[in-house]
Every structure is written in C-alpha cells, then in structure tokens.
Amino acid sequence: MDISVIWNDYYPQLKRFVSSRINNRADVEDIVQQVFIKINDHIDDLKDEQKLSSWIYQIARNSMVDYFRKEKWNDELPDQLQTTDEYDEPDLAQEVISCFESVIQQLPEKYKVALELSMFKGMSQKELSEQLGISYSGAKSRVQRGREMLKELLTGCCHIESDRYGNIIDFHIKWRYPSCTTNEQEG
C-alpha cells in the first residue's frame, strides 16, 4: 500500500479530526505528522485493507492520548478521548444518508416515488414499472432522471468526497435545505 495515496486520501479529514479536539495548530500538525510516521512504519502490519480507515483513526486517537498525557492536562484525558479501546470513526456515510433522505424530498413527486421505491425499498425497475403502471423503459427513465436530479441537488448543497475504494472520506454541507437534518454546516 502506497503511503502517498493514504496521505492524499486521509490527510485533510485526519487534520480536521485532530483539530476538533486540540486547539493549538502547531500541535495538530505535529500529531498528524506523527500519525503518518506510524502509518508508514507499521503499514505492513495491517492485515485487512478494509480496516485501514479504522486503523488510521485508532492511531490518531492514541497519538492524541499520548499528547494529553505528555501535556498533563489536569491529569485526566478529555471525556471525548476516554473511550473504549476501539475508536468509532465519524460515520460520514450516515451523515450523507441523512442529507440524502431530506434532499430527496425536494424532487418532483414522480421522481421522488420512483427513487424511494427503487433505492429504499429495493424494487427492481420491472417491479417499479408494474407498481406505477408505466412501461419498463418509462420506469428506467424515471429512475435515471430522478438520480440525475438528486445528484444535482446533492452536489449543489454538499461536498462529498470518496477514496478510490468508494468509501466516503469527507462530507460537509455547503448550504442546507430547510429540511436537511445533519448537524454539520460549513461556516
């Protein structure tokens, strides 16, 4: 696994993750650098590439714990770092789904229904055509057009970035629809 690819895929989100817990920018940079040094030194120890993201966040969490211990902040770690041995990385997919579910409501009814039935209920396009009483090609077109409209809305209001494996590595809202229920918004 190429460390430069990992750097490109994870550096921005890792820096945000660390800076959300540590205020000093120089310390944030130091910690992120230490994390990448540890990744480089131990990348061959990673057995399952699917766990790369969790592994990186665990290294980052441990590095922050070391930082707080070294700084001896009140002899106790901040509550957000006192967790179990495993760190649950931010669930960006859940944030995207939450935004997705609210943005889909902005579509015209016929496209919204077609997408909800095909994407959320798992209906095939053939089943969709029967359910809606339209031709198979009409159902395909409706789903395709609905997806295009949804993509347009999402890319207009949200920044979604994925790595080469399709995992979401960065997500934030550029501006929100009134019904968007996620907690983040770019300032």
Q: Are strands 168-173 and 158-162 parallel, antiparallel or unpaired?
A: antiparallel
Assess whether pLDDT exceeds 80 at residue 102. no
Domain identity same for 48 and 108: no
Task: Supply φ then ψ for residue 165, to 5 degrees.
Answer: -95, -5
Q: pLDDT > 70: what percent of the chain?
A: 70
Q: What is the pTM of this model?
A: 0.45
Confidence of residue 171 (pLDDT cuts 50, 70, 90): low
Q: Which domain holds residue 45?
A: 3-81
Instruction: Answer whether residue 182 is part of any domain.
Output: no
Average pLDDT of every residue of the chain = 77
Instruction: Answer whether residue 87 is part of any domain.
Output: no
* pLDDT confidence of residue 85: 46
> Which residues on adjacent β-strands are paired with residue 171?
160
| Overall number of domains in the chain | 2
